[in-house]
Amino acid sequence: MRLDNVVKDYGDKRAVNGLSFHVHQGELLCLLGANGAGKTTTIEMCEGFITPTSGEISVLGFNPATHPDAVRERVGIMLQGGGGYNGIKVREMLQLAARYSANPHDPDWLIDILGLGGVAKNTYRRLSGGQQQRLALALAIIGRPNLVFLDEPTAGLDTQSRIAVWELIRALKRDGVAVVLTTHLMDEAEALADNVLIVDHGSQVAMGTPDELTKIASSALISIVCNHEVDEEAFHRAVGVEISAIRPLHYRITMEPTPEAIATITKELARQEVLITQLETSHRNLEDVFLDITGRHLRS
């Protein structure tokens, strides 16, 4: 699927400001943005629920604005707040959904993998929020869609359920399914995403693999405390980067804390007969990158 310079205005309010991206089969794109960034609006345009003000969207070869039914037949959608029918039991609901598809997943396999076995005979309204969410995921994928939209699929789930959902999402990718996921959870983005698109006030502010993004403006640091003074010039000659004293016996080295970097540093200090009494590394994660780029935390 592909978006080209997509804009959505609500009156004077520009909710989405010229977004472009593509997602290939078997890839996961993560949309990261604070509340109100425009993620839900973007997904709803891809699904044909709302029409862009300008720009082009192609989902599995269809324009969702003009062919919403063709799109919705082929994509799986998991929206925030689920979407079940109150009176029907979990297993019945999945069996019913399976009947709409030529080659559905086995409802019992999904019940098992998502840990819904204990509530398979419960009606939707008796499920906890987390169970409703897992059911919504099962309903989104039971028809083996080629593309799925997952809006905060693990928000509010306990650790065990989150891991089950992550495993399922990885399995979808292995099967060649394209996934568009929104999340507030940085570890989720780092764990699952092939590409991350950071959106702020409707505009793209950064896009790349989690690795590429965490290398942006990298000010990776290694801090050490030593038992006596380091020969800073000799260190610079040997290691190729500067070491600077921030106070007596406390040093800072600005370099990516890779295993090789640490080995090089300790080797040089051993040569200087300096003992490291403390060593600390700071690896920048997506959370830091988000903060650098947008100037705020993802969850305020």
**Backbone φ/ψ region at 70: left (φ over 0), alpha (ψ -120 to 50), beta:** alpha
Cα dihedral value 287, 288, 293, 297, nearest 10: 50
Q: How far is the CB of 37 from ligand ATP (least distance, A)?
A: 4
Q: How far is the CB of 294 from ligand ATP (least distance, A)?
A: 12
33 lies in the site for ligand ATP, by CB under 6 A: yes
13 lies in the site for ligand ATP, by CB under 6 A: yes
Give which of 110, 107, 118, 89 is closest to 165, Cα–Cα. Answer: 110
Give which of 93, 83, 85 is closest to 121, Cα–Cα. Answer: 93
CB closer to ligand ATP, 39 vs 91: 39
Q: How far is the CB of 50 from ligand ATP (least distance, A)?
A: 8
Question: Which of 1, 3, 6, 15 forms a contact with ligand ATP (CB under 6 A)?
Answer: 15
Cα dihedral value 38, 73, 120, 113, nearest 10: -70
Question: Which of 5, 10, 24, 258 forms a contact with ligand ATP (CB under 6 A)?
Answer: 10
Q: How far is the CB of 41 from ligand ATP (least distance, A)?
A: 3
294 lies in the site for ligand ATP, by CB under 6 A: no
**Alpha-carbon gap, residue 100 to 115, rounded angstroms:** 23
Question: Are the beta carbons of 94 and 101 closer than 8 angstroms?
Answer: no
Q: What angle do CA 231, 234, 235 make, to 5 degrees?
A: 80
CB closer to ligand ATP, 15 vs 127: 15
Interface with ligand ATP (CB under 6 A), residue total 11
176 lies in the site for ligand ATP, by CB under 6 A: no
The window from 30-38, 129-137, 233-241, 292-300 that contacts ligand ATP (CB under 6 A) reads: 30-38
Q: How far is the CB of 44 from ligand ATP (least distance, A)?
A: 8
Binding map of ligand ATP across residues 97-136, x = CB under 6 A, - = no contact: ----------------------------------------
Q: Which of residues 35-64 bind ligand ATP (CB under 6 A)?
A: 35-41
In the 8-state DSSP scheme, what is residue 106? P
The window from 10-18, 87-95, 137-145, 264-272 that contacts ligand ATP (CB under 6 A) reads: 10-18
CB closer to ligand ATP, 15 vs 164: 15
153 lies in the site for ligand ATP, by CB under 6 A: no
Give which of 27, 17, 4 is closest to 192, Cα–Cα. Answer: 27
Q: How far is the CB of 209 from ligand ATP (least distance, A)?
A: 22
Question: Are the beta carbons of 242 and 254 closer than 8 angstroms?
Answer: yes
Buried b (16+ CB within 10 A) or exposed e, 132-154: bbbbbbbbbbbbebebbbbbbbb
- How many C-beta atoms lie closer than 10 Å to residue 53's C-beta? 14
Cβ-Cβ contacts under 8 Å for 235 (sequence gap 6 or more): 242, 243, 268, 269, 272
- The residues binding ligand ATP (CB under 6 A) are 10, 13, 15, 33, 35-41
